[in-house]
Chains A and B, each alone.
Chain A
Amino acid sequence: MAGEAVTGGALARLWRRVRAAVRSVRVETRFVLALWRVNLLAALEYRTAFISQVVGMMLNNAAFLVFWALFFERFPSVGGWGMPDMLQLFGMTATGFGLGVVLFGNALNLADIIADNGLDAYLALPRPVLLHVLAGKSRLSGWGDIATGVLCFALTADPGAAAWGRYAVAALASMTVFVSFLVVVASLTFWIGGASALSAQAIHAMLAFATYPLTIFDGTAKLMLMTVIPAAFIGAVPAEFVRGYSDRSLLQILAAAGVSLALAVVLFHRGLRHYESGGMAVSAG
Chain B
Amino acid sequence: MPSIVVDNLRKTFAAKRKSAGLTGSLRAMVRPDRTTVEAVQGLSFRMDDGELLGFIGPNGAGKSTTIKILTGILYPTSGTAEVLGFVPWRERRKLAYHIGTVFGQRSQLWPHLPAIDTLALFGKIYELDHRTVRRRITLLSEAFEITHLLETPVRKLSLGQRMRCEVAASLLHQPRLILLDEPSIGLDPVAKQRIRDMIIRMNAEEGVGVLLTSHDAGDIEALCKRVIIVNHGQIVYDDRVSALKRRYLTVKDVGVRFVEPIAGDVDIPGAEVVKVGGGGYGLKLRFDTTVTPAAELLAHIGALGGVEDVTISDPSLEDVIRVIYEQAAAGEAIRPADGSWPSVEPEGSEGAP
Contacts and interface: CB of A to CB of B under 8 A. Distances in A.
B299 interface: no
Interface in B116-163: 155-156
Interface in B154-198: 155-156
Interface in A130-170: none
A48 B156 contact: no
B156 A285 contact: yes
- Looking at chain B's contact residues, the main secondary structure is helix
Interface string A273-285: 0000000000001
B142 to A, nearest CB: 29
A122 B21 CA distance: 33
6 contacts: A47-B21, A47-B22, A48-B22, A48-B25, A285-B155, A285-B156
Interface of A: 47-48, 285
B325 to A, nearest CB: 37
Nearest 4 A/B pairs, CB to CB: A47-B22, A48-B25, A48-B22, A285-B156
Nearest to A50: B22
A229 B22 CA distance: 42
B233 to A, nearest CB: 33
A86 to B, nearest CB: 36
A47 B20 CA distance: 11
Nearest to B155: A285
Nearest to B24: A48
Contacts, number: 6
Contacts of A285: 155-156
Nearest to A47: B22
Contacts of B21: 47
A47 B26 CA distance: 12
A44 to B, nearest CB: 11
Contacts of B25: 48
Contacts of B22: 47-48
A127 to B, nearest CB: 33
Contacts of A48: 22, 25
A48 B156 CA distance: 41
B353 to A, nearest CB: 26
Interface string B256-271: 0000000000000000
A285 B22 CA distance: 42
A47 B155 CA distance: 39
A48 B23 CA distance: 10
Contacts of B155: 285
B248 to A, nearest CB: 47
Nearest to A48: B25
A139 to B, nearest CB: 21
A47 B25 CA distance: 10
A47 B22 CA distance: 7
B114 to A, nearest CB: 15
Contacts of B156: 285
B236 to A, nearest CB: 41
B32 to A, nearest CB: 15
